[in-house]
A and B are shown apart, each in its own frame.
Chain A
Amino acid sequence: MLVDVASLSIAFPTPQGPLPAVREVSFALGAEKLGIVGESGSGKSLTARAILRLLPPNALLTAERLRFDGIDVLHAREAALRAIRGRGAGLILQDPKFSLNPVMTAGGQIAEAWAAHHKGTRRQARQAALDLLRQVQIRDPARVAAAYPHELSGGMGQRVMIAMMLAPGPRLLIADEPTSALDATVQAEILRLVQDLVSRRGMALILISHDLALVSHFCDRVLVMYAGRIVEELKAAELARARHPYTRGLLDCLPSLTHPRPRLPVMVSDPAWLA
């Protein structure tokens, strides 16, 4: 198992006491594509970041087991963690505008990511960067490599981000709402690209999103989170047969082009879901 999480809990200290954000979440992941779906505040981003212990400094993290690639993340020292971040797992965030360094060229950033985990000359790093840009299906890698992030479109920027994260050759890719800031046409392209790269390299993928339909399209398994807990776990193909009322609620409350309804069913949150 690449990722093994048992009873993960994350809380934040507040003047009124610790506020739980993730409550006893357990899951395991091999070389497959896992989707984590939830609305804002469900704890999905924190859960994924906990695998690399990339949490805010005031977060209180407890778990029975938190292992990544054989390493005990819960008790590892910062130096050991720095080794697995990047080389073990890469993280793609929502808006490339905010996650790319605005004063470095795209090629420069990818080369830097490559050089941090490989020994080689600057020319080799630059070559690797161009090669990676080609792998993320950028038709004109030289032009994009020389461009600054603000000169690139959203979809292009996200491809650069993916190239940067793939540079060290990680085993796991965590994509946190990678396409929420992109247009529908570009969304599908980017996700198909991620899917393709992940299968070709034999990597594992954790795709975090609020879009249940999107996630089920591109993943093998889906975890549905609500208020810090996993309320349902199912295979992507079986989404239509989801049983938990929250998952059904998420599916039903979307407006549909093909099945119009004058009023959309509204999710009534059952306090039992918090138990």
Chain B
Amino acid sequence: MIEIENLEVRFRDLHAVRGVSFAAPRGSSFGIVGESGSGKSTILRAYAGLITDWTGTMRLAGSPLARRRERAFFRRVQMVFQDPYGSLHPRQTVDRALSEPLLVHGIGEIEARVLRALAEVALPTSVRFRYPHQLSGGQRQRVAIARALMAEPEVLLLDEPTSALDVSVQAEVLNLLADLRERRRLTYVMVSHNLAVVAHLCDTIGVMLEGEMVEQITAADLRAGRAAHPHTAALRALSTELEEA
């Protein structure tokens, strides 16, 4: 479904992504884990078309992607951002935010679809006309997920979707993401700095270090401690060290 070969992204003086290649078959979930500055979010943004200055090959279901994306691309690929407050327009109600993708793509039955979307992410209809600052962090992230699903995509790019949330809310959102993947047969590419979260939701994990994907490992292997690269082992050790407390 998703294929990336030799992706290189350079910002003015920073080589953010160096020759990253991976593939995620349809229905699978690929996790990208790494520390801040490792380039993991940049990969996602390049695939989504937010960054146009890249070299390499990126494919969606076999067809290569050009520098600029057409509108049809956004009906197949959508993204959920890290900061739920920053990803919702502060002056637009939830209803408006959810209607926007429908208006842009010319999809009808807006009212019915909005209500259905709210139900799907387990939000009560009472939040429909609230502004983002009147919602909790967990509610905002659900709205962001609902918005991403309005266009009925096949792929969801998740950029640290739970990093800004409380742990109890994180559990709910992770469960929601698992349910949605099951119900809609989505393909996920998820980025996080939290190894446990990524391993929970994804079957294959790519480990980023300073722009390079140094290892691709299955979640099962990671849990068992069969990491090949020392950075992977180090991240795993840090994650389990606190668990054993």
Mark A residues whose CB is within 8 Å of B. 39-40, 154, 183-185, 188, 210-211, 213-214, 216-217, 239, 249-250, 253-258, 260, 262-267
- Bound form: Cα–Cα A217–B222 in Å: 24
Among B41-49, B94-102, B235-243, the stretch in contact with A: B235-243
A184 in contact with B235 given A213-B242, A257-B243 (CB within 8 Å): yes
Q: A258-B223, A258-B243, A264-B175 are in contact. List 20 more A-B contacts (CB 8 A).
A: A40-B137, A183-B35, A184-B193, A184-B235, A239-B245, A249-B168, A250-B168, A253-B168, A254-B171, A254-B196, A255-B171, A255-B197, A255-B199, A255-B200, A256-B243, A257-B223, A262-B178, A266-B175, A267-B168, A267-B171
Nearest chain B CB to A1 CB, angstrom units = 27
Q: Is A253 in contact with B223, judged by CB distance below 8 angstroms? A: no
Residues of chain A within 8 A (CB-CB) of B196 are 254-257
Measured CB to CB, the closest approach of chain B to A211, in angstroms, equals 8
Identity of the chain B residue whose Cβ is nearest the Cβ of A214 in the assembled complex? B242
B217 to chain A, nearest CB (A): 12
Q: Convert B156-185 into 0s and 1s, putting 1 for each residue whose CB lies closer than 8 angstroms to a CB of A.
A: 000000000011111110110010000000
The distance in angstroms between the C-alpha atoms of A258 and B242, with both chains bound, is 11
Q: Decide if B178 touches A39 in the complex (CB within 8 Å).
A: no
With contact pairs A213-B245, A266-B175 given, residues A257 and B239 touching in the complex (Cβ less than 8 Å)? yes
Contact, CB under 8 Å: A257 / B242: no
Knowing A154-B36, A263-B178, A264-B174, the reply to whether A257 touches B168 (Cβ < 8 A) is no
Shortest distance from the beta carbon of A134 to any chain B beta carbon, whole Å: 26
Contact indicator B174/A183 (Cβ below 8 Å): no
Residues on A with C-beta less than 8 A from B175 are: 263-264, 266
B238 touches A217 (CB 8 A): no
List chain B residues, Cβ under 8 A from A260. Answer: 199-200, 219, 223
User: With A255-B174, A256-B196, A257-B195 known to touch, is A184 a contact of B168 (CB < 8 Å)?
Assistant: no
In order of increasing CB-CB distance, the 3 nearest A-B pairs are: A255-B200, A253-B171, A39-B166
Do B238 and A185 touch across chains, with their CB atoms under 8 A apart? yes
Q: Are B167 and A254 in contact (CB under 8 A)?
A: yes
Contact B172 A266 (CB under 8 A): yes
Interface size classification for chain B: 20 to 34
Does B234 reach chain A (CB closer than 8 Å)?
A: yes
**What residues of A have a CB within 8 angstroms of the CB of B235 in the complex?**
184-185
Contacts of A262 in B (CB 8 A): 178
Question: Which residue of chain B has its CB nearest to the CB of A267?
Answer: B168
Q: Are B193 and A266 neighbours in the complex by a CB distance under 8 Å?
A: no
Chain A residue at minimal CB-CB distance from B220: A260
Asked if B243 and A213 sit within 8 Å, CB to CB, the answer is: yes
Contacts of B167 in A (CB 8 A): 39, 210-211, 250, 253-254
Question: In the complex, what's the smallest C-beta–C-beta distance from B60 to chain A, in angstroms?
Answer: 29
Residues 203-245 of chain B: 1 if any A CB is under 8 Å from the residue's CB, otherwise 0? 0000000000000000100110000000000111011111101
Pair B240/A257 contact, Cβ less than 8 Å? yes
For B198, the closest partner residue in chain A by CB is A255
Asked whether, in the complex, the Cβ of B174 is within 8 Å of the Cβ of A185, the reply is no
- Report the Cα distance A253→B173, complex, angstroms: 11
CA distance A183 to B160 in the complex (A): 13
Chain B residues lying within 8 Å of A249, measured Cβ to Cβ, are: 168
**How far is A217 from B200 in the complex, measured between Cα atoms in Å?**
23
User: How distant is A28 from chain B, measured CB to nearest CB, in Å?
Assistant: 25
Name the residue in B36, B200, B223, B239 with the highest tally of chain A Cβ atoms < 10 Å from its Cβ.
B200
List, in ascending order, chain A residues with CB within 8 A of B193's CB.
Answer: 183-184
CB-contact partner of B200 in A40, A185, A264, under 8 A: A264
Cβ contact within 8 Å between A217 and B172: no
